[in-house]
Amino acid sequence: MKFILVFLGAGFGGSFRYIVSSWIMNVTNSSFPLGTLVVNLVGSFFLGLLIFGFDDKELLSSNMKFLLAIGFCGGFTTFSTFSYETLTLLRDSQFLYAGLNVIANVIICLVGIYVANILFR
């Protein structure tokens, strides 16, 4: 059941990401990836709302957590998970790990996409 909830949430999240990001890019007509930035911000805020506003107060059922927090937010943007994990490290005073998490995710992911670009050029 958990797998189905995550699957459904991720499908809706990914579809919604495409709609929102495309709409923003069409409206702004910007060469800066503003659509992705807005999706990452909204996704991070929504995950924070779910976790800190509902889950911490035990207002979010386990099924809704799988559907919305893991599925929808994961499909909408993995940046929301990255943001939450980094914030958790900061709240736990794990400043070195928080900094490493930010640096590693940004640099390693850029290296990964760069290497794929070079390999398939």
Counted domains in the chain: 2
> How many percent of the chain have pLDDT more than 70?
100
Query: Do residues 71 and 101 both lie within one domain?
Result: no
Structural domain harbouring 60: 1-76
Q: How many CB atoms lie within 10 A of CB 27?
A: 10
Domain boundary among 56, 76, 96: 76
- Per-residue pLDDT reduced to its tens digit, 27-54: 999 888 888 889 988 988 988 899 888 8
Structure tokens at 15: 């579809």
pTM of the predicted protein model: 0.76
The whole-number pLDDT of residue 61 equals: 92
d(CA 73, CA 5): 12
Q: Which residues contact 76 (CB under 8 A, 6 or more apart)?
A: 13, 14, 16, 17, 39, 42, 43, 46
- Per-residue pLDDT reduced to its tens digit, 69-88: 999 999 998 788 889 889 99
Query: Do residues 38 and 11 both lie within one domain?
Result: yes
Query: Do residues 111 and 58 both lie within one domain?
Result: no
- Per-residue pLDDT reduced to its tens digit, 8-31: 999 999 999 999 999 999 999 988
